[in-house]
Amino acid sequence: MSRYPEKLSRIEITTTMGCRLNCRFCPQKKLLNEYKKTENPDKTSMTLEDFKGILSQIYEKGTITFSGMSETFQNNEASFMMREAYKQGFKLQLFTTLQGMQDEDFENIKDINFQMVVLHIPDEEGNSKFVIDEKYLEHLQRFVSEHDILYYSCHGKVHPMVKNIINPEIPITSEMKNRAGNLTEEKLEEYHWENGRIVCTGAIFNTNGTASGWTPLLLPNGTLLACCNDYGLELILGNLYTESWEKILDSKKFAWFERSFDDDSVHSLCRKCDRANCRSEAVKRNSNILWNNAIKVGRLLQGIELKQGGYFPTILDDEKADKINDLLFSKKICIFGLGKLFFDTYNTIPWKNVLLSDKPGICSDNNKKWKKGDSLFGLQFVEPEELKTYDDLVVVTYVTNDFEIRAQLHNMGIHKIINIYEIFNIFD
């Protein structure tokens, strides 16, 4: 109990069951079959009153993510839920396809400053079953003009009908995962963590040990899942409509879930997930690969061949070369994230010299324990809001999951952002 907050600090919402898009890379059939076995399976849509009822179980200023296992706007009360939560001071994230969105929804969310927006767009191959009509294109045009988008998600090549509408400067991701083993029909990379203790890299642990970044998922009938990958409903923790979060934490189901991370004889969904990592494997990587890659990156930064007016190492693809170029040519580098990962690796392997070379370095973090003027390994601490005053700055996010930090930096007009793992694994 002491490891977890008394209330939820984050939650993901599935507003309705049965997604019309029926994406190739989303195991909807499995989800719907398992949903029939839950309490009150006929309740397939969350109401505004349902939603209001669970807000008291979330910390004030906690994060609510509208995404889940179906398109949010299929529920005609979804935008009212967002408006209500934002009015009460919660932070909101939105993952959407815009399918089912109405003009009224635009009005309801027009004043919401979303912490993060990810927009799923149509693909040329038809892997996602979008209805691309005049109304959708009108809504897409309006949405991209009214909201800051962190990145686009596309399950293939971008559909030609939307190419000229989306912002070409915003990144597009098309990487597909097997949903922790739930997407068995597709030939996607599998993950198996059979032995030893595992950790969830999708969770962000506070300095006091509480898992505040872990995000359970709520289904329309109140069923609370441990994770958004649980399309087979293996990890049902309880029902948030009928049970308190405190009661769920004290339940046998939650004790089993927690034990599955430490005890490899307890085989849970998490041991087939791409977000899992094994402690022993992590130690091995730190002692071998990270050191070697640091040396290689350092060599690249010191002397790589010149092509087409810029530095493009022939051993790297263009995307990775661009990251090297950002480190090479930016006027200043900021290390953002001063947690355990930073203290474990920054000064103990050659990353300090690799990242900064001869550039002046600064550091930043949202944790209020750091103050302006503090110095860590020669880096001067700067408050996050001050970063927008620096010209030609590249930020290296020194955390495992940097979605929120990226959104924060994008909102400040900072777009040169590299996650430390992209550098750690640049030669993988």
| Secondary structure string (H, E, C) spanning the chain | CCCCCCCEEEEEECCECCCCCCCCCCCHHHHHHHHCCCCCCCCCECCHHHHHHHHHHEEEEEEEEECCCCCHHHCCCHHHHHHHHHHCCCEEEEEECCCCCCHHHHHHHCCCCCCEEEEECCECCCCCCCCCCHHHHHHHHHHHHHCCCCEEECCCCECCCCCCCCCCCCCEECCCCCCCCCCCCCCCCCCCCCCCCEEECCCCCCCCCCCCCCCCEECCCCEEECCCCCCCCCCEEEECCCCCHHHHHCCHHHHHHHHHHHCCCCCCHHHHCCCEEEHHHHHHHHHCHHHHHHHHHHHHHHCCCEECCEECCCCCCHHHHHHHHHHHHCCEEEEECCCHHHHHHCCCCCHHHHHHCCCCEEEECCCCCCCCCCEECCEEECCHHHHHHCCCEEEEECCCCCHHHHHHHHHCCCCCEEEHHHHHCCCC
Q: pLDDT at position 85, please? A: 97
Q: pLDDT at position 202, please? A: 58
Q: pLDDT at position 298, please? A: 55
Q: pLDDT at position 365, please? A: 94
Ranges in the chain, pLDDT < 50:
1-2, 204-212, 279-291, 299, 302-315, 349-350
Q: pLDDT at position 361, please? A: 81
Q: pLDDT at position 309, please? A: 32
Q: pLDDT at position 288, please? A: 44
Q: pLDDT at position 1, please? A: 39
Q: pLDDT at position 132, please? A: 95
Q: What is the per-residue pLDDT across 63-100, written as a single tens digit (0 to 9) for each?
A: 899 998 999 999 999 999 999 999 999 989 999 999 99
Q: pLDDT at position 300, please? A: 52
